[in-house]
Structure 1
Amino acid sequence: MTLAPYACHPAQSRGRLHAEPGGAARGPRDAFQRDRDRIIHSIAFRRLRHKTQVFLAPDGDHFRVRLTHSLEVAQIGRAIARALGVNEDLTEALCLAHDIGHPPFGHAGEDALEAALAGAGGFDHNAQTLRTLMRLEMPYPHWDGLNLSWETLEGLAKHNGPIYEPGWAMREADAEFPLDLTSHASIEAQIAALADDIAYDNHDIDDGIRAGLLTLDQLMAVPMVAEGWADVQARCGGRAPDRLRSELVRSQIGRMVNDLLDETRRCIAESAVETVEDVRAAGRALVRFSDAMREAERGLKAFMYANLYHHPAQLAAADFARRIVAGVFAAYADDPRLLPEDWRAALPEAEPARSRHIADFIAGMTDRYAVARYRELVGEVALPEGF
């Protein structure tokens, strides 16, 4: 496929932090295809299989976890990239890697690490993604990290927009390999950001109903959902509601993707960008929803926070998760000899590096591994219903 002139072209990449001899290439892959494959083959990516998306360590096999969410984001992102004529491989790499920095138990675990590192600069899962991929993964003999291309690292850093006040971890990444943090990212990175929103906006509806925390009747309070449900019933009337739920989710994803494509094409034409550097200098995101869809999506998000993410059962599970992560951090901080041998050997002597090192270890844990370490280091704990 011929790429649009404002797409990221692998042959024009700004390169990698560590030079790699041409003979090191394995197979007929360009730079962004190799990045995607390095992410897929990483240990950090495999651990997403046992990390929370919405429900903590769910005992049902049909709920989404970070890994399946990332795959769904990649599917949506690839479709958008293809339609816009930009680099599908780079988009896929960004979608697959965007949540790698999440600690166990999702945002509840992040809150606990943020509190634990209050005196050491705090914790941010987006910066932790770069830290993991640039430092903590070590599959190569000559350098730490996966040695991803500049465009992939830039997209992971800035997919949600320019960064004017980076935290310590992002500053370290930027100092090592400057990522132009105050400019906008590529079209591919902007696609990854909204593909993430489209995926969780809709798939969390499916999981919330499956878990019994949401009902279709409740969802009718959301105008966008009520409109979509009326359309599904008109097209597929007579079927049981459970058979129509997936059609509702699919239809909403399609409506959001089509709206994004129409508005993005309009913005690209209006801005007259001709190169990826023009995209970075545009002064605003070019991949976007229409005003009407953006307002509708805000209403859906507000409903989901009020009725699912802040549901009493979810809040109780989040309290449990914060207790687990905080307890494990405190145990290792009090006695670093409890760390595994390889992590103990690399433990810095001084703060704040010492606490950050412990947080690196905990951030990589899966939900179930964190629970097991809590039981080993702190004591028995009663799991909330659903584990």
Structure 2
Amino acid sequence: MTNHSPYAADPEAHGPREWGGKTAGERRGPRSAFQRDRDRIIHSMSFRRLKSKTQVFIAPDGDHYRTRLTHSLEVAQIGRVIARALGLDEDLTEALCLAHDLGHPPFGHAGEAALSQAMERHGGFCHNAQALRTVMRIECPYPAHDGLNLTWDLLEGLAKHNGPVIAPNWELAELDAAFPLMLGTWPSLEAQVAAVADDIAYDNHDIDDGLRAGFLQLDDLLTLDFLADQWRAVEKRFPDAPRERLLREMVRDQIGLMVNDVLEHTAAQVKGLRSVAEVREAGRQLAGFSPAMTEQERRLKAFMYERLYYHPEQVAAAERARNVVARLFAAYSQDARLMPDDWQARLPRHEPQRSRMIADFIAGMSDRFAMQACSAIYGERPAGLVNV
């Protein structure tokens, strides 16, 4: 038992698993329930495929650009630091961080946009809901049941990655009906920490990748006063260091500033709480940025959308990526024989279930596999998808 705070999730008192209650599969060694959750995620095929899924740059040639896998690992590192400092369960926090992007289709948000459009008449598509569907229904390594059979605490945290869900889409509604997750309430502090760790990681690491790719310029970044303050402090500490090292130091400093802000603000918010139940009964977000940091982070996101995510080269590559996913969906919808035998055998005959399973198949693809599949069907490899 590593928990220290009374409001931390307790691996000895965790919620049930969907299949077999609390004790399902918990006879292998000394691991806690949340350690088992984490390990099941790490050993899943969906997690391995994250190594070839877009984070910011589509199918990058460079070895040093982040993918969904490296991003998830960085989120987990930040999440564990925050969880440890607050006396939360590190294993549950880490598991949530590692699993939060399992529902992302190939080509990141461009692929999601294409699937959303293709699925418009069949309930739509949402990568957050797809992450839950992945671990509960699509990943099937066990002979007795579907899914990874994770704890209620883990599934609840995934479902509420962005907070309470008032109007669940078809995926969340189906899963919640089968295994109720109290969608309308705030989740555990571990889940809230995983969400803010995600923000900290991509806010800052996307700066790092954008600078490396030449899509962002330092002078433009320094129009944000809080980043300018970090840069001047770094220059003062290391006046003779190469510029590249100073840039990376600035990113590290900004991460540290955000982490410390979360720790200070969250500690004040949870003061006096005595249980996990009181966390949920608070009816509001407890783990997160202070109001001042929230405003800075909002300004940073607006800058990143304008200068990086909507950069003309990014927009052009995203359009080509959307075309790949749209063509795959159209092809499989017209001729299911193009899908692997095991997917064909399970494909429902009627809508919307048929299209939803086709979306499951495409969402699980890596960037590389999606391009290969499109090439095999249409006779030409998609061009212009490497933008760095």
Counterpart pick for 1:250 among 230, 249, 252: 252
User: What does residue 167 of structure 2 align with?
Assistant: 165
User: What does residue 117 of structure 1 align with?
Assistant: 119
User: What does residue 228 of structure 2 align with?
Assistant: 226
Q: Deviations over 1:124-157 (max 9, x none)?
A: 0011001110011111110010000000000000
Asked whether the 8 Å contact 2:3–2:10 carries over to 1, the reply is: no
Alpha-carbon distance in structure 1 between the residues aligned to 2:242 and 2:3: 45
User: What does residue 17 of structure 2 align with?
Assistant: 16
- SS of the equivalent of 2:12 reads helix
Task: Give, in angstroms, the shift of residue 243 of structure 1.
Answer: 1.4
Asked whether the 8 Å contact 2:110–2:319 carries over to 1, the reply is: yes
Question: Quick check: 1:345 aligned with 2:345?
Answer: yes
Counterpart pick for 2:152 among 137, 150, 157: 150
The residue type paired with residue 361 of structure 2 is: F
Task: Give, in angstroms, the shift of residue 386 of structure 1.
Answer: 3.4
User: What does residue 326 of structure 1 align with?
Assistant: 326
User: What does residue 316 of structure 2 align with?
Assistant: 316
Counterpart pick for 1:32 among 31, 34, 43: 34
- SS of the equivalent of 2:157 reads helix
User: Following superposition of structure 1 onto structure 2, how do residues 138-287 of structure 1 map, counting pairs within 5 Å?
Assistant: 138-269=140-271, 272-287=272-287
Q: Deviations over 1:301-342 (max 9, x none)?
A: 110000000000100110011000000000000111111100
Identical-residue share of aligned pairs (%): 60
Q: Deviations over 1:107-129 (max 9, x none)?
A: 00000000000000000001100
User: Following superposition of structure 1 onto structure 2, how do residues 122-137 of structure 1 map, counting pairs within 5 Å?
Assistant: 122-137=124-139
Asked whether the 8 Å contact 1:223–1:296 carries over to 2, the reply is: no
Asked whether the 8 Å contact 2:48–2:69 carries over to 1, the reply is: yes
Alpha-carbon distance in structure 1 between the residues aligned to 2:3 and 2:319: 50
Asked whether the 8 Å contact 1:49–1:67 carries over to 2, the reply is: yes
- SS of the equivalent of 2:351 reads coil
The residue type paired with residue 133 of structure 1 is: V
Q: Deviations over 1:171-222 (max 9, x none)?
A: 1110111000000000000000000000000000000011110111111111
Structure 1 unaligned blocks of 5 or more: none
The residue type paired with residue 10 of structure 1 is: P
User: What does residue 297 of structure 2 align with?
Assistant: 297
Which range is displaced more, 241-250 or 305-314? 241-250
Asked whether the 8 Å contact 2:88–2:189 carries over to 1, the reply is: yes
The residue type paired with residue 18 of structure 2 is: L
Asked whether the 8 Å contact 1:331–1:378 carries over to 2, the reply is: no
Which range is displaced more, 372-381 or 33-42? 372-381
Which range is displaced more, 138-147 or 237-246? 237-246
Q: Deviations over 1:82-103 (max 9, x none)?
A: 0000100000000000000000
Asked whether the 8 Å contact 1:127–1:170 carries over to 2, the reply is: yes
Instruction: Go from structure 1 to structure 2 and tell me whether the alpha carbon gap of 1:132 and 1:23 turns closer, same or farther (over 3 Å shift).
Output: closer
Alpha-carbon distance in structure 1 between the residues aligned to 2:68 and 2:3: 32
Asked whether the 8 Å contact 1:328–1:378 carries over to 2, the reply is: no
